[in-house]
């Protein structure tokens, strides 16, 4: 029996999770990984901060930097890092922009990314390469590359004496696999390469996710850590903190990192203030139980897609709440085809799922969160089987 065969049934739903979200029950939400979903108690707490803000804006903003700093301290502890190395940012999109603005690049320098990277992150790197004359080198990781050592060796094989920067995913978006492991980061550092980890999916999904050894690491708390959108964290290595500049000049510029990046004038800081409530909720539910539940349910969903719809499971990184499977050749190879597949699942089955184009057959990703139930994956598998004919 393989890991993908359905020898293990779905997990028991966790107590107290039936009414925890305000999701529309008529819809099967099997794509938590894209936008997350904010639990109702966290929505309420954020609403209270909004009410406080609207009752007395001057009073609210007067001591806001200190309150944001307190939230940052709490978030840094949960991520296993120091509060003076972490700036709260809205999301990964912002974090990569801040990061790229502080890494010096010159004509001829090489930057490594992989073909599993997130679209706008890779595009931001490409734009920076074009601006500076650096060369972008995309490491191809064949979809069937086994996990761990094989991934690390494939990336390291592309390093040359001109490689100065590597922008790698902690957990990839289209293919749900771990790339920037501590081992790989250490090896890159050994070659003198500055490392950037797009860890958009790590907070909440992994225990103590900030990998030591990354020069820059950023993650979203609004995906798997039950925080309101938009709550992201940018963590910077000690030798970089003095070099980080905000993209727009801040009143807090004179204080340097993290204040310069975090304070962006008049802005909605309520997601940051409410984010610790999401961490509390994860703790109350039992973060390890949540992770085990999600991993088992995602594995169950993937097994159903393999058995009933004939999809091919991709190699699995242990401990994740998402799984990815290969669609047959000729299906979802282009973006419009992948979009049409997702739209078909929505129109015909009220299923929210995600498929990404890939040469030779697209990739479908399933997510599992505590609100998902086993029967939803049965609908998904039956629907995909039907659409594939």
Ligand X SMILES: Cc1ncc(COP(=O)(O)O)c(C=O)c1O
Q: Quick one: which of 200, 221, 309, 338 contacts ligand X (CB under 6 A)?
A: 200
Asked whether 114 and 141 are in contact (CB, 8 A), the reply is: yes
Task: Report d(CA 360, CA 363) in Å as an integer.
Answer: 10
H or E stretch covering 312: strand 312-313
**Closest distance to ligand X from the beta carbon of 219 (Å):** 9
Q: What is the DSSP letter of 140?
A: P
Residues 310-349, interacting with ligand X (CB under 6 A): none
**Closest distance to ligand X from the beta carbon of 200 (Å):** 3
46 binding ligand X? (CB under 6 A): no
Task: Report d(CA 314, CA 310) in Å as an integer.
Answer: 13
For ligand X, the closer CB: 93 or 307: 93
Site string for ligand X, 16-35 (x = CB under 6 A): ------------------x-
Measured in Å, how far apart are the chain's first and last C-alpha atoms?
27
Tokens 């000729």: give the residue. 330
**Closest distance to ligand X from the beta carbon of 124 (Å):** 10
For ligand X, the closer CB: 306 or 356: 356
Task: Report d(CA 133, CA 107) in Å as an integer.
Answer: 4
Residues 352-381, interacting with ligand X (CB under 6 A): none
Q: Quick one: which of 118, 224, 226, 272 contacts ligand X (CB under 6 A)?
A: 118
198 binding ligand X? (CB under 6 A): yes
Asked whether 313 and 335 are in contact (CB, 8 A), the reply is: no
**Closest distance to ligand X from the beta carbon of 133 (Å):** 26
Asked whether 225 and 369 are in contact (CB, 8 A), the reply is: no
Asked whether 310 and 302 are in contact (CB, 8 A), the reply is: no
Furthest CA-CA distance within the chain: 63
93 binding ligand X? (CB under 6 A): yes
**Closest distance to ligand X from the beta carbon of 262 (Å):** 16
Q: Quick one: which of 28, 75, 98, 121 contacts ligand X (CB under 6 A)?
A: 121
* Half-sphere exposure of residue 162: CA atoms within 13 angstroms, side-chain side: 12
Q: Counting every residue, how long is the chain? A: 389
Residues 211-230, interacting with ligand X (CB under 6 A): 220
**Closest distance to ligand X from the beta carbon of 307 (Å):** 27
Piece of 88-96, 270-278, 281-289, 372-380 that binds ligand X (CB under 6 A): 88-96
Task: Report d(CA 303, CA 331) in Å as an integer.
Answer: 19
For ligand X, the closer CB: 98 or 381: 98
Closest C-alpha among 223, 124, 120 to residue 176? 223
91 binding ligand X? (CB under 6 A): yes
263 binding ligand X? (CB under 6 A): no
169 binding ligand X? (CB under 6 A): yes
**Closest distance to ligand X from the beta carbon of 286 (Å):** 25
Closest C-alpha among 220, 240, 238 to residue 165? 240
Which residues here bind ligand X, judged by CB under 6 A? 34, 91-93, 118, 121, 169, 173, 198, 200-201, 220
């Amino acid at each position: 029996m393989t890991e993908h065969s359905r020898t293990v049934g779905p997990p028991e739903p966790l107590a107290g999770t039936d009414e925890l979200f305000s999701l529309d029950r008529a819809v099967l939400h099997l794509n938590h990984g894209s936008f997350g979903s904010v639990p109702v108690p966290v929505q309420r707490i954020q609403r209270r901060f909004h009410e406080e803000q609207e009752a007395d804006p001057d009073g609210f903003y007067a001591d806001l930097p200190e309150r944001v700093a307190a939230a940052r301290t709490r978030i840094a502890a949960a991520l296993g890092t120091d509060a003076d190395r972490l700036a709260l940012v809205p999301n990964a999109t912002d974090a990569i922009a801040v990061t790229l603005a502080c890494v010096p690049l010159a004509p001829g320098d090489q930057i490594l990314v992989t073909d599993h990277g997130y679209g706008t992150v890779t595009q931001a790197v490409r734009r920076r390469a074009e601006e500076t004359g650096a060369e972008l080198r995309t490491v191809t990781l064949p979809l069937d590359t086994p996990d761990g050592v094989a991934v690390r060796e494939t990336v390291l094989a592309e390093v040359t004496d001109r490689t100065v920067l590597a922008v790698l995913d902690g957990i990839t978006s289209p293919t749900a696999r771990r790339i920037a492991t501590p081992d790989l980061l250490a090896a890159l550092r050994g070659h003198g390469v500055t490392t950037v980890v797009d860890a958009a999916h790590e907070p909440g999904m992994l225990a103590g996710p900030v990998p030591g050894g990354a020069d820059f690491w950023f993650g979203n708390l609004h995906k798997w850590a039950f925080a309101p959108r938009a709550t992201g964290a940018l963590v910077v290595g000690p030798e970089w903190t003095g070099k980080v500049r905000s993209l727009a000049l801040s009143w807090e510029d004179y204080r340097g990192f993290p204040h310069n990046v975090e304070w962006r004038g008049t802005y909605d800081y309520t997601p940051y203030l409410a984010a610790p409530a999401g961490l509390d909720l994860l703790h109350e539910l039992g973060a390890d139980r949540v992770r085990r539940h999600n991993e088992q349910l995602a594995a169950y969903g993937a097994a159903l897609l393999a058995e009933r719809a004939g999809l091919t499971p991709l190699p699995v990184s242990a401990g994740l709440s998402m799984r990815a499977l290969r669609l047959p050749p000729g299906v979802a190879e282009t973006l419009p085809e992948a979009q049409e597949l997702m739209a078909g699942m929505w129109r015909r089955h009220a299923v929210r799922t995600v498929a990404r184009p890939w040469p030779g057959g697209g990739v479908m990703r399933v997510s599992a969160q505590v609100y998902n139930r086993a029967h939803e994956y049965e609908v998904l598998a039956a629907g995909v089987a039907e659409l594939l004919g």
